[in-house]
A and B are shown apart, each in its own frame.
Chain A
């Protein structure tokens, strides 16, 4: 996001007159509401806010936001957004993509928008399936996923979006899921981050990959399966009703993470780590934690800003144009020139 003047709006101001055309019960509805709820809280200005998407179910998103919107072509939204941001750095850009759009056909652009650190919020809706094309396995589908193109189960190893983002050089990596009440907080942190902020949002495709995230997203037992990270806070989890009873500690011998018994009173003695969102090493370990033995790491996993692309481009421009003035006539007549006199037709140097 940019430094900006805060504008008073309500959720209604961000809704369009267009009928929302996702399947009833799709996780996208919840994400749409979370975004529409978050923008007024951030004081965003609809005229400077833009939503840019590729192709897929998620990419219909811009039609439902009362902002400027561009529904582009499959996988290319990061490139379109990069051009728009360079042309007008004042725009507050939200990129909407999915696991197929962002990591398969558009994987290359995702890599580059992250390494360049173009200032925008990138929401990748990960439903681990191709929804709009009727259910083929996607680059994030788990091994053995049965789909129209893999009737006996997929053999491709899945990509981990957050891990990809971190590897590509993202300076902000967050995670949330469609119906989580914490999603707006992740969106706000992403918006506050100067540079490319990557948010993986687990999203339930109720038609082609129903409840695939239930193992950690289902309300029942969620406390034991979700690790919500907060910078400067110990990495504790557990059922909040009975009290947090586990934590993440560093296994110094094996240079890996481990789950330890710990409470809010004794976490220090138990060796529970305090989340440092600026640590890339810890971020990587949290993202790579195998779910099952470990909870799912959610929230702001990594947030360590560096100058954004538009800032660097502006500095480079200032350097390149220092002391230079635009003068078209002079430019056209530059280089080695000569003059032909009217009478002679003979040139002079």
Chain B
């Protein structure tokens, strides 16, 4: 399949496979790769996919992160995909200890981290072995020969070094002793070999910066800041970075490498930054709390990949944010509920297994009708599942996963930048409807970075909360009397004359006192459902983000599949196919026109990283013949997978 993907214009002026001997500064030519393009000195492709892969201790995520920043500064649109093992320090050199960071950047709009890399940086044999299957035919491998030792080859289960047989004939290989070059470059700082080798990732980054003509200054600045108290380490890293960069230039002189110039993307004018989903959710929650005019209380318990939100918020205390690392997931949500009761905006966050633990408390928030935002950064499941991989398999859990008839709004973010608005929307619904709201994101969105046009807070519409200050029925307080939205008043303990009791037991529809009577439970069940259904009145109609209603085929998605679906539909439309892309932010309740919109298409295909959960919800709610397109391998969709599905559906 992958070979059928149109290869971006090849990027290296090169027709030989080259093995460099670092110390000697010589190279030996081997069999020419069958490439057939890109002999011009400075290629200019519209997009390039680079994957940095190494041992989990090699600092690949850091390298990728810094390369991302420099790429953003160069004005390219980009998307990234970090892929790291669950083990913090997996045994060195092993196949399961490989950590990778992929970035797709270009002069056109970039919506995914890219199907297959054009360039693979492999810091050891294991990194090569694990990542080689995804490399494009004709792609470039940059390998550190210093790590291709007998021991490391054994650990990666290679009998013969792949650099020394024909197994890489389909690719172009630049292999040289990055380890030795790094040691040489940082010699003057008197570091031991072990410490010196830690700068290998900066050497590699330097080479990559040169390849794509990126400035080094921001990285210099960042290194100086990061190692402020250890100037030797900062200087060694800078020296390694500069040496990698210089190596590229020198190599160019001798002919084998050339620079790739990816032109800046045409984008809307304004201030930009890169942002990960975890950052944008945190910022969105802060903005949401400010728009609601409330202090924020965040209760969390460490879990991958949700912890990043706690780490961001803990640094924002000046925004009236209180963070609480609880003893467990249940305490985290219960403390948030307690804080909401006391008049703060309660927020909790977790991933699937932790969300499962919070289920009973969500029911309490539904029953007591208190605002609460629950962020679920989904990962692969069930049980502990795949902690560091991505999946969308908690949709049923979000919509239905509680005891009793316990309706709760669910919204989902489709990209790191989108997560900002979604977080604000979650806060709005929570406080306006006095309800817990589930905000779905996933491991991919949480960790991935993309450029974000910084919004101006003055353009946000505030939705300040009003607390009940006096009795709402003459001399009587009715804590469960509803407003036109079906929401009960929010009453803070400490308010004079309004003392009352709430709890998880069924309560009278106005007084809130315990009431088990049949007619009251019927009325309260109906009222809770009507309130959540009514959220649909406050959300915009669903539109097509590509194509028109009535198209022959619609790809209907939610969450982080946005990028691949968008790109695939866009490419199909360029080929003249009548296909639309519909992407849902509001999962429960859905926009009011959803049924009509879905019924307007001849065919509806629902790509999901699960076994078909949203497809089932759509069928149930609207009786449409939604067809599933599912995958659960822990990886985002490839564009070519979706393109193939589009063609098949329309054939």
Contact check, A47 vs B494: say whether CB atoms are below 8 A apart.
yes
A-B residue pair count with CB separations less than 8 angstroms: 215
Residue B207 lies at the interface, judged by CB distance under 8 Å to chain A: no
| Size class of the A contact interface (CB-based, 8 Å) | 35 or more
Residue B539 lies at the interface, judged by CB distance under 8 Å to chain A: no
Residue A240 lies at the interface, judged by CB distance under 8 Å to chain B: no
B72, B327, B339: which contacts A112 (Cβ < 8 A)?
Answer: B327
What's the least CB distance linking A341 to chain B, in Å?
6
Residue A5 lies at the interface, judged by CB distance under 8 Å to chain B: no
| A83→B334 CA distance, assembly (Å) | 7
Known: A70-B501, A72-B334, A73-B360. A88 touches B342 (CB 8 A): yes
Which residues of A are found within 8 Å of B286, using beta-carbon distances?
Answer: 328, 331
Residue B404 lies at the interface, judged by CB distance under 8 Å to chain A: no
Which residues of A are found within 8 Å of B470, using beta-carbon distances?
Answer: none
Complex interface: stretch among B242-250, B260-268, B600-608: B260-268
Contact check, B502 vs A331: say whether CB atoms are below 8 A apart.
no
| A230→B282 CA distance, assembly (Å) | 51
- From B456, B499, B505, name the one whose CB has the most chain A CB atoms within 10 angstroms: B499
Known: A47-B494, A326-B318, A346-B75. A332 touches B501 (CB 8 A): no
Contact check, A18 vs B513: say whether CB atoms are below 8 A apart.
yes
Residue A50 lies at the interface, judged by CB distance under 8 Å to chain B: yes
Known: A73-B360, A80-B338, A342-B269. A347 touches B74 (CB 8 A): yes
Complex interface: stretch among B271-279, B388-396, B553-561, B623-631: B271-279
Known: A47-B495, A108-B328, A325-B318. A69 touches B501 (CB 8 A): yes
Known: A68-B499, A71-B501, A317-B322. A48 touches B454 (CB 8 A): no
Contact check, B318 vs A62: say whether CB atoms are below 8 A apart.
no
Which residues of A are found within 8 Å of B268, using beta-carbon distances?
Answer: 340
B74, B218, B271, B315: which contacts A339 (Cβ < 8 A)?
Answer: B271
Tell me the nearest residue of chain B to A71, going by C-beta.
Answer: B503
Contact check, A83 vs B335: say whether CB atoms are below 8 A apart.
yes
Which residues of A are found within 8 Å of B339, using beta-carbon distances?
Answer: 83-84, 86-87
What's the least CB distance linking A87 to chain B, in Å?
4
| A300→B481 CA distance, assembly (Å) | 44
What's the least CB distance linking B555 to chain A, in Å?
29
Contact check, A79 vs B330: say whether CB atoms are below 8 A apart.
yes
Which residues of A are found within 8 Å of B295, using beta-carbon distances?
Answer: 87
Known: A68-B500, A70-B501, A345-B267. A83 touches B72 (CB 8 A): no
Tell me the nearest residue of chain A to B70, going by C-beta.
Answer: A336
B residues 224-275 in Cβ contact with A at 8 Å: 264-275
Contact check, A317 vs B457: say whether CB atoms are below 8 A apart.
no
Contact check, B342 vs A87: say whether CB atoms are below 8 A apart.
yes
Contact check, A88 vs B343: say whether CB atoms are below 8 A apart.
yes
Contact check, A79 vs B318: say whether CB atoms are below 8 A apart.
no
Q: Please, what's the 1-or-0 string for A165-191, where 1 marks a CB less than 8 Å from any CB in chain B?
A: 000000000000000000000000000
Tell me the nearest residue of chain A to B333, going by C-beta.
Answer: A79
Query: Which secondary structure dominates chain A's binding surface?
Result: mixed
Contact check, A72 vs B336: say whether CB atoms are below 8 A apart.
no
Contact check, B266 vs A345: say whether CB atoms are below 8 A apart.
yes
A residues 47-106 in Cβ contact with B at 8 Å: 47-48, 50, 52, 62-63, 65-73, 76, 78-88, 90-91
Residue B326 lies at the interface, judged by CB distance under 8 Å to chain A: yes
Residue A255 lies at the interface, judged by CB distance under 8 Å to chain B: no
A65, A79, A334: which contacts B331 (Cβ < 8 A)?
Answer: A79
Known: A47-B494, A63-B514, A326-B318. A84 touches B455 (CB 8 A): no
Known: A76-B334, A80-B335, A88-B343. A347 touches B272 (CB 8 A): yes
| A333→B514 CA distance, assembly (Å) | 50
| A70→B505 CA distance, assembly (Å) | 11
Contact check, B334 vs A79: say whether CB atoms are below 8 A apart.
yes
Which residues of B are found within 8 Å of A71, using beta-carbon distances?
Answer: 501-505
Known: A68-B499, A76-B334. A339 touches B73 (CB 8 A): no
Contact check, A83 vs B297: say whether CB atoms are below 8 A apart.
yes
Residue A254 lies at the interface, judged by CB distance under 8 Å to chain B: no
| A112→B324 CA distance, assembly (Å) | 12
- From B286, B335, B364, B492, name the one whose CB has the most chain A CB atoms within 10 angstroms: B335
Which residues of B are found within 8 Å of A347, using beta-carbon distances?
Answer: 73-75, 264, 272
* 19 A-B residue pairings within 8 Å (CB atoms): A46-B499, A76-B330, A79-B332, A79-B334, A79-B335, A83-B335, A83-B340, A83-B346, A84-B493, A88-B344, A91-B494, A111-B327, A326-B319, A332-B457, A333-B454, A336-B273, A345-B267, A347-B264, A349-B218
- B residues contacting A by CB (< 8 A) are 69, 72-75, 215, 218, 264-275, 283, 286-287, 290, 295, 297, 299, 315-320, 322, 324, 326-328, 330-332, 334-344, 346, 360-361, 363-364, 368, 454-458, 492-505, 513-514
Nearest 5 A-B pairs (CB), nearest first?
A71-B503, A83-B338, A83-B335, A79-B334, A69-B501
- A residues contacting B by CB (< 8 A) are 16, 18, 46-48, 50, 52, 62-63, 65-73, 76, 78-88, 90-91, 108-109, 111-112, 313, 317, 320-321, 324-326, 328-329, 331-342, 345-347, 349
Supplied contacts A47-B493, A88-B494, A339-B272, 14 more A-B pairs, CB within 8 Å: A71-B502, A71-B505, A72-B334, A79-B327, A80-B334, A81-B338, A83-B339, A108-B331, A109-B331, A112-B326, A332-B283, A332-B455, A345-B264, A347-B73
